[in-house]
Amino acid sequence: MKAVVYTQAGLPIQDPHALFDTDLPQPTPGPRDLLVEVKAIAVNPVDTKVRASRNAEQPQVLGWDAVGVVREVGSEVSLFQAGDEVFYAGAIDRPGSYSELHLVDERIVGHKPRSLDYASAAALPLTSITAWELLFDRLGVEEKGGKGQRLLIVGAGGGVGSILVQLARQLTQLTVIGTASRPETQQWVRELGAHHVIDHSAALAEQLAALEQDPVDYVISLTHTDTYLPQLVQVLRPQGKLALIDDPAQLDVMPLKRKSLSVHWELMFTRSLYQTEDMIKQHQLLERVSALVDQGVIKTTVGEHYGAINADNLKRAHALIESGKARGKVVLEGF
């Protein structure tokens, strides 16, 4: 089968060996696995981070967003059958989705939204799982809850932010405040449903005060948390909650003590990495997201379509992600 791989970590994306096309043997499904013919993928920051840090003796396949058609099922599979169209984000400790055929545990897979084509659906799984777990599992916000409370999303124009704004606006009563620094991303965040948009390159407290939206009850920080932390502590109300997904080199949480603030980490791969008892919740939430899309409640967050799935196009996608200028999700379709 065709695949795009790498072996040496840390190469600049322009290097011919940073990502390259190859052929690999077809995988065989385990008891709870689906063998999926991959139709489209999306590229995420985790793809670039793993490529930069994880060396391998054998060619490694990246990719943690996929849409495709089930071709075979394992002996214990009960949720899907051959021919089903599915979407999912996969598991970080297994080969990724930059390949024609891919194995994935059924418990972290959902049925593709019927109203979306393959490329549009590929933009949703990883960010939807991350955003859903941040909002409802980590911060403990209840659906239809949050009346009179405020949520600040730092980096609202990126992949996770784009779906998080929609979930918070459509499924809760929170006042949603997103940050974005460029006019085009500010407009994007407004179109997704944020009540207010402010600029994270300027003082947050002053902008929130001008909008009469301070203090805030919840902050979800999606980028450069260590840089923004003093400001986030300042704008959070006492006993507020801070959630984050990025990888700060260090994070001094002592300033949170005076206000009794709590900090919550989110990694959407935790359930699959540890085979947790509630691992199937990711199947359930993807099914819910699929239904919400088909009902017109939330929409896909595609930012760029980079063409066929091959090394050259994936290098372009990685370069855009690494530039920090991506809006929404970058998708590729077909081999």
pLDDT, tens only, 74-89: 999 999 999 999 999 9
Taken as a whole, the chain contains a residue count of 335
Question: In the predicted model, what is the mean pLDDT of residues 288-308?
Answer: 96
Is it the case that residue 142 has pLDDT exceeding 90?
yes
Contact (Cβ atoms closer than 8 angstroms) between residue 107 and residue 30: no
Is it the case that residue 325 has pLDDT exceeding 90?
no
What pLDDT is stored for residue 327 in this prediction? 79
Q: What is the dihedral of CA 67, 324, 321, 17, to 10 degrees?
A: -170
Across the chain, mean pLDDT equals: 96
C-beta atoms surrounding 219 within 10 Å:
28
Q: Which of 132, 215, 221 is nearest to 168 (CA)?
A: 132
- What proportion of the chain, given as a percentage, has pLDDT over 70? 100
Q: How confident is the model at residue 279 (pLDDT cuts 50, 70, 90)?
A: very high
**Residue ranges, CATH 3.40.50.720, the chain:** 127-265
Question: In the predicted model, what is the mean pLDDT of residues 288-297?
Answer: 98
Question: In the predicted model, what is the mean pLDDT of residues 36-62?
Answer: 93
pLDDT, tens only, 6-42:
999 999 999 999 999 999 999 999 999 999 999 999 9
Alpha helices for the chain (secondary structure H): 45-53, 118-122, 125-132, 159-171, 183-192, 204-210, 225-235, 270-273, 281-294, 311-323
Say if domain 127-265 classifies as CATH 3.40.190.100. Answer: no
Say if domain 2-124+270-333 classifies as CATH 3.90.180.10. Answer: yes
DSSP state of 151: E
**Residue ranges, CATH 3.90.180.10, the chain:** 2-124+270-333
Does the global pTM surpass 0.85? yes
Question: In the predicted model, what is the mean pLDDT of residues 208-218?
Answer: 96
